[in-house]
Amino acid sequence: MNVGPREIITPFRPIPLDVPEGMKPNEFFNSTENLQDLSQNNGLLSNPENLLMYRKALGHSNEFDTSIIFNSSKCILDPLGRPVRRTQLPEVTKNSWNRMNQIMIEYMIEKYPDPGEALILAGEASLDSTWPLTAPGVPSIRMLHNHFIVFNMKQLRNAEMADPNNPNLTDGGQNSLFQAHMRVVYRKFFESLELQILKPIQGTESQIGLTGYPQGLPSWEIQGGIAMLKSTHFWKEYDLILKGFLDFYRTFFTQVSTRNAPIPEKAFFPDQIEDNLLFDNDFLAAAKKVRDMCIKDAKYANAIRWQPAFKQLIYRNDEGKLIVTISQNSIGNAITELLGVVVRRVPDAEAYEKTEEALIEKLLEVRQRLINADLGDPIKTKYWD
């Protein structure tokens, strides 16, 4: 068996979208009008906490693919002012968000119990203003949302090998700034966090055997498996991983921007930053390298994402264990590419319709579980009652 990233083809039904004259598509996607359209045509469930579950019209997989978004489009009209990560959510919203995540992941594992037959993942990506404003690939919806995806392993095994030099696949460790220059201090900083449920793992323990991904990323096994997702302690630790990443990212790029800058304001772990980062020669040397390049190379400086950009996943490995990982986010890469899966979407309504009925059946089934748990009310569209 050849080990390496795979590229699959996923057909979709072309979406009729009338973008107002003078607007770019990504500008329109952030509008309240577009979010209203998303809800009316593809919405599955909504609740008073403004959490919206919807069918992915441009999906990664036609086996199982849905998202839950914190739809703040009507209550926060400024796209750059909307929450884009769990640490920015109101506590009552985060509680519902975590329960919805738990039910969704539990359903996927129950429906696809064999890791040899299905690759399962749930992942969150930052979608804030971390891109240069003039660059292509600016986030289409600047709001917090999670992906819930299942890939058929037979399809992946039969898929073409992806180009390993695809820049969207280099986010996982091969060319990552953190991994290349600060691997030791990066992992040491995470080790300073107080984790009991999440156990650090390395190397092949975290990898999908077929693709060899993730590569080089800090990863943790969820001790106790799916049952632990019903514990608030797990979600607090899941947030600790994110908070640690945010502190590391902010501290590093603050040092890149300003030599000998103080600890960033509102840091989650100021003591760990002071002890493990601001007195570490490798950390500060790497910041100097990037600073010098920014001064000399305008193109390089323009590509820097000065604010934290990340992708955080829960996925199932080949042994059936649930793994958590977090990655520095590169421009354009999909959340699936952290696991070595490149998706090429092609417009093909006829091919999509062959899988649509089974896909919607599963989406409606898991929607009912959310309704039963008092996590929302169903949305009626022309595709489902």
Percentage of the chain exceeding pLDDT 90 = 64
- What's the structural domain count of the chain? 1
Dihedral of alpha carbons 277, 279, 285, 287, sign: positive
Residue 383 within any structural domain of the chain: no
Q: What is the reported pTM?
A: 0.92
Using CA atoms, how far apart are residues 191 and 204, in angstroms rounded to an integer? 19
Cα 349 vs. chain centroid, distance in angstroms? 27
Helix/strand/coil for 321? coil
236 occurs within a structural domain: yes
Please give the DSSP secondary-structure letter assigned to residue 149: E
Per-residue tokens: 30: 């952030």
* pLDDT in the model for residue 180: 72
For residue range 350-385, what is the model confidence (pLDDT) as tens digits? 999 999 999 999 999 999 999 999 999 999 988 887
Distance CA 306, CA 132 (A): 9
- Residue in the block written with tokens 């998303």: 38
Instruction: Tell whether 142 is covered by a domain.
Output: yes
CA distances from 373 to 90, 100, 369 (A): 20, 9, 6
1 lies in a domain?
no
- Helix (H) or strand (E) run with residue 120 in it: strand 118-125
Residue 300 has pLDDT above 90, yes or no: no
Tell me the C-alpha distance between 97 and 347, whole Å.
Answer: 32
pLDDT tens-digit series, residues 251-268: 999 999 999 999 999 999
pLDDT reading at 129 higher than 60 = no
pLDDT at 166: 79
Query: What gap in Å lies between CA 19 and CA 252, rounded to an integer?
Result: 39
Question: According to the model, what pLDDT value does residue 170 have?
Answer: 62
State which residues form the domain around 50.
6-378
Which pLDDT score, from 0 to 100, does residue 174 have? 45
In a domain, 18, yes or no: yes
In a domain, 385, yes or no: no
Q: How confident is the model at residue 134 (pLDDT cuts 50, 70, 90)?
A: low
Query: Does 128 map to a domain?
Result: yes
Within a domain: 267: yes
